[in-house]
Amino acid sequence: MANAAEKKPFQKLLDRIENAENMTPGNKAGIIDFLQHEHPGDVLFTKWDYPQIIAKGKGARIWDVDGKEYIDCITGMSSMNLGHSDKRIAEAMYDQYMNQLDNWFDFPTPERLKLVNRLIDITPGDFPKRVRLALSGSDAVENAIRLARYATKRQHIISFYGAYHGQNSATMGLTGSGRMTSYYNPMPSQDNCIEHFPYPYAYRNPFGGTEEECVEQCLNLIDNMMSTGVTPMGAPDAGICNVAALIVEPCQSSAGYIIPPKGFLQGLRNLADKYGFLLIFDEIQTGMGRTGKMWCCEHEGVVPDILVFGKALGAGIPMSGIVGKAELFEDIDVSFICSTYAGYAMGCRVGNTVLDIIEEDHLLEKCTATGEYMKPKLEKLMEDHPSMGTYNIRGVYLGMEFVKDRETKEPAKDETHDIVNVCRDNGLLCQLNGYLGNRISFIPPINIEKEDVDELFEILDAAITEVEKKYGYI
Ligand SMILES: Cc1ncc(COP(=O)(O)O)c(C=O)c1O
């Protein structure tokens, strides 16, 4: 407990903003207003010294209230994969609102029937499926967990350290990202049945082994804990499995845009089949073309029992849901969930339009090509900058890690923080994250143009140079 004389966290934030030297007037006044009237979310004040008030977006660019322009490498946390203000989305929304239907409760509509059929077609798995639509990613994950528990009649769920699956009461227990979950302990009672395991963050193998050993070690630990009967997850010798499902992000996004080595997803599929639990892929952030395929799990050809989607399907308005094996829904009639806005006609129309645009503009191919275009630039950064420890990229899903020394891998936390802030000052908004606060992620629109990519790397290169000079690396 803070003692009475110590400043409250909110007052410290306010001081930080009031004393920020290079904040422009509109941003400063707006953030002060915001802090005085709202309870801020976790991200806004943890990524930069101070946040911006973004007023406008077009394509891969955004502008703050004082007119400063930025390349957008945050895209509403991957909700704006198509970039900002695509006319086709605006026209579809106008037409839907004026000539068709906005919302009329959780009923079927022509757009909804169309979207659900398309989702069934474009998700992996050659088996009968069913969809349940929702609004936020957290809603959809909650539905996946309810379904898994009801269908298997088991309670335990396996999740991973560092995972982010949402922040409502049902999903908070799954989220292994400590900064948020620490506020809410103990979790709601049913979520005492959540078991966290290490994620294969190979660069910092949690077992202390080599990068090559990482996947096997992570999988072995789950296997051992499932097979030995030393945890409540089950006792195979007595024929008991208490695990309903394992939920995983195919790449761990909010934790630092970490791509696990190949073999991880297949290994999880094998474990699910061996012990008879369900496999849930949370593709809320990795899906919708972000990694150059519609769903990230397609890179490994691994099929989940339930796939969770959200964010970019709505191009800025809430849309999410799950697609699962039809048999999982067999014992449930109509009472699984009901919601005023789930499957609302406007959201479905936008979802259909987003899918049309991905096809029309060949965005999966474009995203893959852009990722390839970035690779030599990343190699050049590695050559030129001793503080760059590693990077991982798939499509336009990019994470970079900064270290004081490539041998010891000591995290360069202050340097990383400074790089993100210098990038911001120079017109590039990217995100500070990582288990140790020494990673930066870049999730621009998946249709970002080459010229924007060139400028992105110029700003980034100059920012790393400036910070390396400041800390005496070069
Ligand atoms: C992988 C993943 N799952 C779930 C969520 C929660 O989605 P929402 O913020 O829409 O509730 C997020 C949000 O960032 C996410 O990245």
Structural domain includes residue 140: yes
3 pLDDT tier (thresholds 50, 70, 90): low
Q: Examine the pLDDT at 2 and tell me if it is beyond 60.
A: no
Residue pLDDT, tens place only, 337-392: 788 999 999 999 999 999 999 999 999 999 999 999 999 999 999 999 999 999 99
Burial class (CB in 10 A: 0-12, 13-18, 19+), 22: exposed
**Residue 176 belongs to a domain with what CATH number?**
3.40.640.10
136 CB within 6 A, ligand 1: yes
Amino acid at 2: A
Structural domain includes residue 96: yes
Question: How many angstroms does the Cα of residue 249 sit away from the middle of ligand 1?
Answer: 10
Structural domain includes residue 156: yes
Answer with the residue of higher pLDDT: 22 or 428. Answer: 428
Residue 203 and residue 434 in contact, taking contact as beta carbons nearer than 8 Å: no
The DSSP letter of residue 8 is P
Give the residue-averaged pLDDT of 323-334. 92
Question: How many angstroms does the Cα of residue 413 sit away from the middle of ligand 1?
Answer: 25
Structural domain includes residue 13: no
Q: Kindly report the backbone phi and psi dihedral angles of residue 370, in degrees, each rounded to the nearest multiple of 5, phi listed first.
A: -65, -40
Q: Which of 138-147, 333-342, 405-414, 451-460 has the lowest mean pLDDT?
A: 333-342
DSSP string, 417-469: HHHHHHHHHTTEE-EEESTTS-EEEE---TT--HHHHHHHHHHHHHHHHHHHH
Distances (CA, A) of 45 to 13, 31, 52, 357: 8, 10, 10, 34
Give the residue-averaged pLDDT of 45-68. 93
Give the whole-angstrom CA distance, residue 232 versus residue 47. Answer: 38
**Residue 370 belongs to a domain with what CATH number?**
3.90.1150.10
User: Taking the alpha carbons of 6, 9, 11, 16 in that order, is the dihedral positive or negative?
Assistant: positive
Cα-only R_g, the chain: 23
Residues 414 and 450 occupy one common structural domain: yes
Q: If DSSP codes are grouped into helix, strand and coil, which group holds residue 308? A: strand
Residue 229 and residue 235 in contact, taking contact as beta carbons nearer than 8 Å: yes
β-bridge mates for residue 247, sequence order: 280
249 CB within 6 A, ligand 1: yes
Give the pLDDT of residue 334.
Answer: 77
Residues 354 and 420 occupy one common structural domain: no
Residues 207 and 230 occupy one common structural domain: yes
Residue pLDDT, tens place only, 303-315: 999 999 999 999 9
Residues 374 and 463 occupy one common structural domain: yes
Residues 6 or more apart whose Cβ sits within 8 Å of residue 128: 325, 326, 327
- What is the rounded average pLDDT for all residues in the chain? 94
Question: How many angstroms does the Cα of residue 227 sit away from the middle of ligand 1?
Answer: 31
Residues 96 and 59 occupy one common structural domain: no
Question: How many angstroms does the Cα of residue 159 sit away from the middle of ligand 1?
Answer: 15
Q: Examine the pLDDT at 222 and tell me if it is beyond 80.
A: yes
State the pairing for strand pair 156-160/234-235.
unpaired
Last residue of a domain, one of 360, 381, 407: 360
State the pairing for strand pair 240-241/129-134.
unpaired
Give the pLDDT of residue 379.
Answer: 98
Give the pLDDT of residue 332.
Answer: 86
Give the whole-angstrom CA distance, residue 258 versus residue 440. Answer: 11
Question: How many angstroms does the Cα of residue 48 sit away from the middle of ligand 1?
Answer: 21
Residues 109 and 246 occupy one common structural domain: yes
Give the residue-averaged pLDDT of 399-409. 98
Closest by alpha carbon to 193, among 168, 147, 157, 161?
Answer: 157
284 CB within 6 A, ligand 1: yes
Tokens, residue 132: 């349940």
Residues 115 and 228 occupy one common structural domain: yes
Structural domain includes residue 72: yes
Question: How many angstroms does the Cα of residue 286 sit away from the middle of ligand 1?
Answer: 10
Question: How many angstroms does the Cα of residue 138 sit away from the middle of ligand 1?
Answer: 6
Residues 231 and 335 occupy one common structural domain: yes
Give the pLDDT of residue 344.
Answer: 97
The total of structural domains in the chain comes to 2
C-beta neighbour count of 453 within 10 angstroms: 20
Residue 254 domain boundaries:
88-360
Record the pTM: 0.96
Give the residue-averaged pLDDT of 34-46. 84
Pocket test for ligand 1, best of 142, 159, 282, 284 (most atoms within 8 A of CB): 284
Tokens, residue 309: 């989607």
Last residue of a domain, one of 339, 360, 381: 360
Pocket test for ligand 1, best of 253, 285, 397 (most atoms within 8 A of CB): 285
254 CB within 6 A, ligand 1: yes
Residues 120 and 62 occupy one common structural domain: no
Burial class (CB in 10 A: 0-12, 13-18, 19+), 330: exposed
The residue whose C-alpha atom lies closest to atom 7 belonging to ligand 1 is 137
Give the whole-angstrom CA distance, residue 149 versus residue 282. Answer: 16
Starting at the edge strand found earlier in the chain, the sheet holding 388-394 runs 388-394, 397-402, 439-442, 431-433
In ligand 1, the atom with minimum distance to the C-alpha of 135 is: 10
Residues 323 and 386 occupy one common structural domain: no
Structural domain includes residue 35: no
Give the pLDDT of residue 397.
Answer: 98
Give the pLDDT of residue 186.
Answer: 66
Q: Examine the pLDDT at 185 and tell me if it is beyond 70.
A: no
142 CB within 6 A, ligand 1: no
Residues 211 and 354 occupy one common structural domain: yes
Last residue of a domain, one of 344, 360, 376: 360
Residues 331 and 373 occupy one common structural domain: no
187 pLDDT tier (thresholds 50, 70, 90): low
Structural domain includes residue 404: yes
Structural domain includes residue 1: no
